[in-house]
Amino acid sequence: MASSAVDGVADGTADDGTDAAVTSDDGAVDAALASDEGAAEDGAGPLVVHTVAELRALRPRETRAVVMTMGALHAGHLALVREARRRAHEVVVTIFVNPLQFSSAADLETYPRTLDTDVALLRAEGVDVVFAPSVEEMYPGAQPQVRIVAGRMGEVLEGEHRPGHFDGMLTVVHKLLNLTAGDVAFFGQKDAQQLALVRRMVADLNMGIDVVAVPTVRDPDGLALSSRNVHLSPTDRTAALVLSRTVLAGARAAEQGRPPAEVLEAARAELATAAPGDVRTDYLELVDPVTMSPYPDVGGAGDALLVIAAQVGTTRLIDNAVVSWADPGHR
């Protein structure tokens, strides 16, 4: 889920479809932690609950917003929280490292768990409730026998390289949406396929909750924020910048009126500037942002999404950009 968010559930297109990106501010995180020291002395929230019974005992206010994360919060997660705070009377943040999303037991074991720091950051943002359940609380007895299956949309792109990941993500998102009883949920645009699948699940199952996309948050050099970035060496981090340059090159080609095939060519040309061996690409594709199917060379309707995933050093990263044509005739 957010790791981005769920990086899972956390991070550019705004919810109105306009291309957007947010620049991170590491100082803002430090300031939030400093601010929290005073808030803690005043006994300010959030209320931290660990059980389903505690969560269900809380009566929702007029509008409840939900932000789902796996913890290890960064500025990308906080952007989700701020948008939730702006739109709703009450904000609930979930922190749960979901074992169903990990194919490697070692990755699950080493995933950072920083609850105290996360709560401090959320306190400074005015979050009302933090739901931080244990694995046993979420999946009593064993892993669930009944799960959400992502279907064809979950078998391509990320799903091809991480089999079963989206089934685990949708299962826990569905469960958390039921438990938190939110009116609106916020997800990061960085995890574009996750966002599309959550929207499809909500529509297909008539869940009655609004799903809002929040723009990707980037460092000043363009790198999309991810909890995985901490694993990048200085050399790897420099090499990783080709991902954001690649999707931006494609987006600019569309702005210049070039057709879909040439948009992809422009992106591939930028990706080719990476030093051999520095970046090992899993995929670079132009897709429909709703279905995640390949965007047609002719006759496409609406915006497209340029998505990339690559291994940089020992770290796997993803990025994307919305591709828009001013003149629909160029599609």
Categorize the per-residue pLDDT at 92 as very low, low, confident or very high, splitting at 50, 70 and 90: very high
User: How many CA atoms within 13 Å lie on the side-chain side of 212?
Assistant: 20
Q: Provide the percentage of residues in the chain whose pLDDT is more than 70.
A: 86
Beta bridge partners of 323: 304
**Cβ partners under 8 Å of residue 57, min gap 6:** none
> Would you name the residues annotated as active-site residues?
77
CB burial of 1-27 (b: ≥16 within 10 Å; e: otherwise) equals bbbbbbbbbbbbbbbeeebbbbebeee
Mean pLDDT, residues 250-263: 96
Over residues 14-70, the pLDDT tens digits come to 333 333 445 555 554 454 444 444 433 345 789 999 999 999 999 988 999 999 999
Question: What pLDDT, on the 0 to 100 scale, is given for residue 26?
Answer: 55
Task: Give the C-alpha separation, 314 to 301, whole Å.
Answer: 38
> Is the previous residue joined to 46 through a cis bond, with omega within 30 degrees of 0?
yes
**Cβ partners under 8 Å of residue 196, min gap 6:** 153, 289, 290, 291, 292
H/E segment holding residue 250 = helix 234-255
Task: Give the C-alpha separation, 224 to 200, whole Å.
Answer: 25
Contact 253, 263 (CB under 8 A): yes
DSSP string, 18-34: -B-EEE--HHHHHHHHH
What pTM did the predictor assign?
0.86
Amino acid at 219: D
Where is pLDDT greater, at 35 or 108? 108
| 91 pLDDT above the threshold of 50 | yes
Of 119, 140, 139, which Cα lies nearest the Cα of 129?
119
| 254 pLDDT above the threshold of 60 | yes
Task: Give the C-alpha separation, 192 to 194, whole Å.
Answer: 5
